[in-house]
Structure 1
């Protein structure tokens, strides 16, 4: 791929230019993101021709985008158009006008391609293996069902947030009767998808600007304590609560709702009702936002094409690799610390100090990779920086609750610190979870001390439960003075949580 490249998305509601930089780590960094509320769907006349006003808006917006790409010296521009241009009966004239007015070549996506790229974005940025993607655009709604990360079905519905607003609403907010008619229509249309009723109890993955706004509203309502929108999860009750909070508001107040973009105020209720009806028909397990959508799907296809694949084998592993690169993590040290930590955890489980699941062991390994990465910023405040960075950085492949647990384990310093970090998340973490997080964090802190000099000198550990204390024999291949000093300092957190003294005995292999 080019070092820098651009995607132009000509949607029915918005037009957007996104410029990416391909970093050495392989990660794509977004360096520019420009949106215009073109609302091209409103300029399709009764004959389905894009009128002159719509044509002027389209061309002038593309020209402004082209100027930005020239400033960034972009050689590669990938421009795609969706439902409005696809449905326009004068699309050949539209493409000819674009060609004569700009140097941008536009590809009109088919219904399948539009749905497919949304699916591709979801499976390359989440660890969800089964679900229904719903991308509510301005003029159409693209739906897919995937299982085991494989696309099984797709469907394009002939409505979007803008067309629904135009069809069912006289004013900027629906009346009770208008909302009832809208809901009835949505039930009728969605039930025409022949496979939809068989897909019960799986998550609905929302894509697009309206889905983002729904999540932003919910987060502001709750004063949500974590950063990030991607992979945010809502229940049916939470989705209904957002709807109920909006439908009673006059338009002037609706425009001022925290989290709602003013330019989406008149289309948010129709869009929200689309997701709501999908939820009802499928009895979905939850609503999950994918901040990655069509544009990202196009990018993933280009990014992975040289490798002959369409999806990352493991999304989370890719995300952890990015963190490893960004924070210059010493992988040799991580491997050694993980080995020591797993050995200690297995011994503690053997002696009945804890019962740890395979998932919790996996959490410990992931936290070992990220343990105290805040040192990259400031060694003295390493714990605080670690928790803040991990809790508030989007990590593709981790749901928000999983991200919080990893942040808590990787930043562990003491019980008091842990309590302070988790205070805003009292409803998220049970007492049992708190104990597990504390043990995993204390074990990792102790394991890191046993590789203080990064020489991997600890060959083996043997633990003996002597009732009054725990004896840990640490067999080393080389001088252990530094490791012994730091291990003696760090063992106290483990002693406190286990309620047992720990005696360390270092010996030569």
Structure 2
């Protein structure tokens, strides 16, 4: 286990995030505090940072040191991006901070800043080919990757703070002329990098500006589940946000749900950047990543000490392992339930016309492992707790719809409760509902075959006679609880079989 604090000294905000890593629960965020520093405003025309800006950095870092001490942080890393990187008096800033805080600021080079965002996104999302965009206060990092391997990267010398200064200073946020000039400038900047054009891949938005755009969109549509990581939008969604911002006055903007008050003056430039990039890329969708620069820095550091900590090829598998550990699912019980469920599904498919898509089968296996994890909170309402935990947890590697489908499968109790949960999102068509019910029924029956958590069942065999199906269950230890529960739950299997089911337990 290791506890590490990262102070992200950006152009717009200074933020402390305290992370903890363990082999059992992965990388978790323990604390996240920020102050809207706006360091860019302390840079004069000659790119020299004023003493007021340097003093602000010193005060903030000393305050964050106290927070870190309370959390017993082993290593505190102050990392600076564009505002300090672009300062001509960068050496003075570093020396002053060192003398007054005893902290060594690490200046992150442009290319490294782009890499860290790419690294975090590809290790926490299940997107093979894509473009990342991270708009800071003073720079915008864009990368292109194929097969989760970095191909191109660039750091543009503009961010939301600099764009606001260039085009919107002393003007309303929705000034038509300012918007038009900003759009033209951003398009020219993106067009200067030929590898960006017409890639026809998803764009991954990273950072605070992306997060605020996602939350605004979620608020506009009364989005029913928590979190923005893995949240998808199409071109119409991005344009909708832009139109809302353009048509809102200053007071309406302050009250806009999803928008942080300290970003009201810089939200329009971010929307312009996202919409312009979407057109240049001819993107397939816009996905938001809550993991970016900070996570990328921390993950690459931890990788040196824990070489197997992060696997970009097994993102969702690792995330669900950590989730199961957090709620104390016993490994052998989870695996036994998964094996039984897979075996039953295979045998049902062999004897019927039942067909399951690969992606549904994958979620089915994961749900069998996680089944009723909510019992850790309360056994009597384990189905309800299971659904809400999974549906509202940020699970790396899963889209939001996949997350909810996993929650529905892992919490399956009966058709009535399934319908109740499904109403929350209204995302699933009748045929999808039917599939979830059938697969959920198999998982529930599989759980009945290991209800004592003793792994007593050794093998399963399904045979067909003229009038019935017979499930022969070979056991190695006394299956009294399993025999009783499987009889109670066999109706879930019978819904998939054209004949009645008889269950026979045989000692191995």
Same fold flag (TM > 0.5): yes
**Conserved? CA contact 1:377–1:385, under 8 Å:** yes
Q: For 1:482, what is the secondary structure of its paired residue? A: helix
> Which residue is equivalent to 1:267?
266
Q: Deviations over 1:90-138 (max 9, x none)?
A: 1111111112211110011110111111111112212222111100000
Write the distance in 1 (CA, Å) between the matches of 2:120 and 2:467. Answer: 55
Preserved CA contact (<8 Å) 1:123 1:311: no
Where does structure 2 lack aligned partners over 5 or more consecutive residues?
none
Give per-residue Cα distances to partners, 1:226-283, cap 9 Å, x unaligned: 1111111111101111111111111111111001001100100101110111101111
Q: Are positions 1:166 and 2:165 aligned together? A: yes
Looking at structure 1, the residues matched to 74 and 428 of structure 2 have their Cα atoms a distance apart, in angstroms, of 49
Residue 388 (structure 2) pairs with residue 388 (structure 1): yes
Question: What is the CA distance between 1:308 and its match in structure 2?
Answer: 4.1
Larger mean Cα displacement after TM superposition, 24-33 or 73-82 = 24-33
Report the CA distance between 1:147 and its aligned residue: 1.2
Normalising by structure 1, we get a TM-score of 0.95
Distance in 2 of aligned mates of 1:73 and 1:389: 28
Equivalent residue runs for 1:84-99 within 5 Å: 84-99=83-98
Structure 1 portions without partners, runs of 5+: none
Q: What is the alpha-carbon root mean square deviation over aligned residues?
A: 1.8
Give the drift of 1:341.
1.4
CA positional deviation for 1:221: 0.8
Structure 1 position 192 matched with structure 2 position 153: no
What is the TM-score of this pair, normalised by structure 2?
0.96
User: Which residue pairs with 2:425 in the alignment?
Assistant: 425
1:370 aligns with 2:370: yes
Contact kept, 8 Å, 2:348 with 2:496, in 1: the verdict is no
1:222-237 pair list within 5 angstroms: 222-237=221-236
Deviation at 1:141, TM superposition (A): 0.1
Q: Is the 8 A contact 1:212 1:229 kept in 2?
A: yes
> Would the aligned equivalents of 2:352 and 2:497 in 1 still touch at CA under 8 Å?
no
Post-superposition Cα deviations, 1:192-211, rounded to whole Å, max 9, x if no partner, equal 1121115x221110011010
Alpha-carbon distance between aligned partners in 2 of 1:66 and 1:332, rounded to the nearest angstrom: 43
Q: Which portions of structure 1, spanning 4 or more consecutive aligned residues, are displaced by more than 6 angstroms?
A: none
Quote the offset at 1:309 in angstroms: 6.3
State whether residues 6 and 78 of structure 1, in contact with CA within 8 Å, keep that contact through their aligned partners in structure 2: yes
Q: CA deviation at 1:445?
A: 0.7
The 10-residue stretch of structure 1 (228-237 or 324-333) with the greater mean CA deviation from structure 2: 324-333
Alignment of 1:76-475 (within 5 A): 76-169=75-168, 170-198=170-198, 200-308=199-307, 311-312=310-311, 313-426=313-426, 428-466=427-465, 468-475=467-474
User: 3-state SS of the aligned residue for 2:29?
Assistant: strand
Task: Give the length in aligned residue pairs.
Answer: 506
Q: 1:64 offset after TM fit, Å?
A: 1.8
1:422–1:498 distance in 2 versus 1, CA, 3 Å: farther
Note the C-alpha offset of 1:496: 4.0
* Mapped pair 1:22 → 2:8: no
Question: How far off its partner does 1:303 sit?
Answer: 1.4
Equivalent position SS for 1:424: coil
Contact between 2:349 and 2:355, CA under 8 Å: does it hold in 1? yes
Q: Distance in 1 between matches of 2:149 and 2:243?
A: 35
The alpha-carbon distance between structure 1 residues 430 and 65, as it changes in their structure 2 partners (threshold 3 A), is same
How do 1:14-53 and structure 2 match up within 5 A? 14-23=13-22, 25-53=24-52
Give SS of 1:485's match. Answer: helix
Cα distance between partner residues in 1 of 2:350 and 2:22: 45
Give the Cα separation in 2 of the matches to 1:135 and 1:437: 37
